[in-house]
Structure formats: structure tokens, C-alpha cells
Amino acid sequence: MRWAIFFDISALVVYYFLSPSVGGIEKNISWFVVVFLWALTIASGTRGTWMAMAVVMGCAFFMGAMGRKWFFLQFLGSLSGMLLYKVFVWGISSMGFEVLHLAGDRISATMSSRGVLWGQAILMMQKKPILGFGPMHFANIPNSYAAHPHQSLLQWVSEWGVPSAILMAMMVIFSIYSMVKHSKILIKENDPNAPLYFCLSTALFSSLVQSQVDGVFVIPYTQFWIVLILGWLISVHFQTVGGKNNQSKYFKIHVFWIHGILFAVVLMLFSVFIYEAPRTYAGYNLLLESGMKRYEPRFWLHGVIGQSGK
């Protein structure tokens, strides 16, 4: 799942081909980046990323002339990336080294126990359908595979409940509709921000698609990139809606919520450093004394959530 960001970056780099203001040198460099990222994505063997690529490229094809140009650039990039990957593997093999875990072997591989994880999430939803088990409490139920179900909707419904999941799904659907509608308007008006908005939308949509089979919304590394792309997209969106007066109105409306969020973050950090940090250090020592070498989930030092000292 950590390879998911390669396609997000590739989706953004294509902007240099869609923008008329970009020169030839930048386009040549960006084409090399696109091909290299495709080669890395193919070599990673991450089928969720491949699926996200196929879905987003298929949708982009029906988004007018700009969408079809984006599609063909990514398609040519994928073919060139596959050729680069084949040449690299051939070169390594010709030097006498054995190459294991080829990308082609992943096509016929299993679902990596996702069926078990999804079944656990569904069972959690059935037991507590209204409010769920609580944030990150999927990780508190021991299993031999993973600390999250590798499916964003199932994780949300199991931890936050069915009503919350329905509201979240409605918000996501409305956001996708708004992105598509606004992107078409910008393209029709030949807005200079249209290529950037389109590429940011495809990058964000690809992450959403892959989150249906991977944990891209859980891992901090991919979370950082998703938040960065989303914030960038929101900024471009408000820059292209209704002029400066409308932008000022949106800013005044949201300034209260911005201060509220910042206040909540300060309280959370105070709680973490004053209350949680000492307990985390003590739990870490108990974890070492117990002989456990594997963190569950791996980015918490004190082991399984809710079982301090065990």
C-alpha cells in the first residue's frame, strides 16, 4: 500500500503536459518521472494500485478532451514503464542474479487474507451497528494478519457505526460529484487552473479507489500525502469559485471552525505529552520484558490498544 503514492504523483506530474504554459524541458523531465514511477509501481506488485490505476484511467477517458489526453499519457507511461521494468529485470538476470517475486506472479496470487479481515469487520458491525467499537478498535481484536481490514468503508462502519458510515459515504459521493462538475466547468471555460485541478482530482480519486482494498487511509505515510493533495485541491477549488468576494465569504465562514480545530489539536497534544507519553514509555518497557518483539499495530510502541501491560 505504501506504493500507492507513486500513482498519485504520476497523476500530478502529467499536469506539465496538460498546461500550455509549461516549456519543453519541463515536459521532458516530467515524462521521465512518469515512466520511472510507472516502472516502480509495476515492480512493487501492489495489485490494489494497479486496480486504482485502471479505474481512474477508465473514468478519465470519458472526461472530455483533457481527460482523454491524460488517459493516453498515462497509458503510454504505463507501457514505457513496463518496458523499463522488463529491461531492468533482464539486465539483473543476465548478470547471473536470480530475480524473485516478479510482478507477473502477483496476478494469480491470493487476497492476502483480506476475506478474514473483512469478515471480522462485518462481524463487528453486526455486534455494534449504531456507534461501532470506537476509533482504531479494529486493532484491539487480535488476529494473525493485520491491525486494519484493508478496506476503508468496512473499517469506518466497524469502528464508527452504520449511521456514521452512511453519512460519510454521502459526503464522499457529493464531493466526487462536485469535483467532476467543477472540473468540467473549468475545462469548458479554458481556466488556467483546469489542468492542475483535474490532475489533483485524479490523484485523490485513485487513493479513494485503492482504499477499498488497501489501508492507504490508515498508514501515516499515505495519510500525509492524501491530506497534502486534498488541501491543495481545496485551495484550487476556492480560488476558482465565484471570484475574490466569494473566497472572502468562505474564509469568514470557516475561520470559526479553523480556530475550533486548532484548539482541539492543542488539547490533544497536551493530553498526549502530559498524560499518554509517560504511560507509553512504561508500556514499552513492559512490552520488552514480556518478550514481544512485534508491535500490534506496528506504529504504537505500547502494543495492542487497550491492553496496557499485557
For helices 47-61 and 4-13, the axis angle rounded to 10 degrees is: 30
The phi and psi torsions of 215 (rounded to 5 degrees) equal -100, 45
Q: For residue 19, with 0-12 CB atoms within 10 Å meaning exposed, 13-18 middle and 19 or more buried, which class applies? A: middle
Give 112's DSSP letter. Answer: T
Which of 68-72, 217-221, 241-245 shows the lowest mean pLDDT across its residues? 241-245
| pLDDT tier at 310, thresholds 50, 70, 90 | very low
CB contact at 8 A, 58 and 235:
no
Which tens digit of pLDDT belongs to each residue from 131-166? 999 888 888 887 777 888 889 999 999 999 999 999
What separation in angstroms does the CA of 158 have from each of 127, 149, 208? Answer: 9, 10, 18
% of the chain with per-residue pLDDT over 70: 77
Least confident of 29-43, 62-76, 175-189: 29-43
Q: Of how many residues is the chain composed?
A: 310
DSSP 8-class letter at 99: P
DSSP string over 34-59: HHHHHHHHHHHT-HHHHHHHHHHHHH
pTM for the complete prediction? 0.75
Share of the chain above pLDDT 90, in %: 24
**What confidence tens digit (pLDDT) does each residue in 250-308 have?**
555 566 666 777 788 788 778 777 777 677 666 666 666 666 555 555 544 444 444 44
